[in-house]
A and B are shown apart, each in its own frame.
Chain A
Amino acid sequence: MSGFWALVLRDIKLAGRLGGGPLVGLAFFVIVVTMMPFGVGADLPLLARIAPGVLWVAVLLATLLSLDRLFQADHEDGSLDLLLMAPLPGEAVVLAKCLAHWVTTALPLIIAMPAVALLVNLDIDLLVPLAVSLLIGTPALSLIGAVGAALTVGVRRGGLVLSLIVLPLYVPVLIFGAGAAEYGLLGAPMLFLGAFSLATLALAPFAAAAALRISVS
């Protein structure tokens, strides 16, 4: 097994053993979506209209929850030092950790989304495009988040700073993601979302790895 997959599997294992791990994000996602009808009221057409945006915002916030620990735990116990001097390049370390973060955080949300979508009266025809937009867009959330997490890894109570750095960068994902559900699988927003995700895949590992190297030195 290569160092890359060893790291991915280790992080997935750790998330599963961290007292609930992925379930916390899932519970947060369900609660946020459940609260929406209480705030908006029992206006079903209105709920159906805003449902894709509501679900995307809830996914985005649930993903943000666990981001501050992406590198923090490794920094605190000295693992980050060893990871950065292992044969695996720093960029691949970031990519492996993002993949594990996506599998343990975003994937459970996407699987649960069809059931949760009933709470906000999502049009059944939008279910597949929305699920696809989440599959395409959520990796960008982990990758952008990794840059913020790397920048704040040595900062006390860095979670707040991380949110301030990352949330503005999430705006394009949110706009294209929510739009993609309405314009269908081959609509312009879905294509832009795919392009944005690929761009973050190409750039974010380099930025995050550079930030990590600065943080440990």
Chain B
Amino acid sequence: MLLKVDDLTCQRGVRLLFDGLTFSLARGEALVVTGANGAGKSSLLRILAGLLEADDGEILCVADMLYSGHLDALKPQLTVAENLRFWVLSFGGDARLCEMEAALERFGLSAIADLPGGVLSAGQRRRLALARFACFIGAKSPRPIWLMDEPDAALDDAGRAALDGLLTDHLGAGGAVVAATHRALDGLGDRAKELRLGA
């Protein structure tokens, strides 16, 4: 078991987002969090990431997490490669050139590796944010649990295909994924459990 959540409750202001949420995630498993806007998907991910306090409940986590929110955490003044290298180093990943080149190649960013982040389109920025995850694939990586908030936002078909391939590889290598999304992610396969919030 990589992640176990027990009786989690979150209230924002006077609004109760969720109450008594319980689930667990083993190696190679994924949880798809769905629900309408404002249902609490992002709040759940932020709680799991330790960025937000739950009002009640317990989270037991035996491995480190990698998180990606709505914002891409990219610096417009740094190049694509510099942005990627910084985050890989910060999260204790493998910052060898070959690993980074492979991650950029996977998302079709090799040709623009030396361009500043400020000139990227929204889709390219999202691809670069996802390229971070490509340096942490599998259960043996320093960050085997991935928390992804709408990872397919702004992606075109090729970007979605790259994301699906990334998720498949990660789950196949024993990693775990919690993804908040409005659309089905094919890369999560049949083992993905669904958690609907606000229902």
Contacts and interface: CB of A to CB of B under 8 A. Distances in A.
Interface of A: 1-3, 6-7, 10, 13-14, 17-18, 73, 76-79, 81-88, 216-217
Contacts of B70: 78
Contact of B73 (A13, A77, A216): A77
Contacts, number: 71
A14 B73 contact: no
Interface in B81-132: 82, 86-87, 89-92, 95
Nearest to A2: B89
A82 B73 contact: yes
A81 B90 CA distance: 12
Interface of B: 46, 49-53, 64-65, 67, 69-75, 77-78, 82, 86-87, 89-92, 95
A186 B73 CA distance: 46
6 contacts: A3-B90, A14-B77, A73-B75, A77-B75, A81-B46, A86-B91
Contacts of B69: 78, 81
Given A14-B75, A77-B71, A217 B90 contact: no
Nearest to B116: A17
A6 B53 CA distance: 28
B92 A82 contact: no
Contacts of A86: 90-91
Given A17-B77, A84-B50, 15 more contacts: A1-B95, A6-B90, A7-B90, A14-B78, A73-B75, A77-B75, A79-B73, A81-B49, A82-B67, A82-B73, A83-B90, A85-B65, A87-B91, A88-B90, A217-B46
B117 to A, nearest CB: 9
Contacts of A10: 75, 78, 82, 86
A85 B69 CA distance: 12
Contacts of A85: 49-51, 65, 67
Nearest to B142: A87
Give the 9 A-B residue pairs with the shortest CB-CB distance, closest first: A78-B71, A17-B77, A78-B73, A6-B89, A79-B73, A3-B90, A86-B90, A217-B52, A82-B73
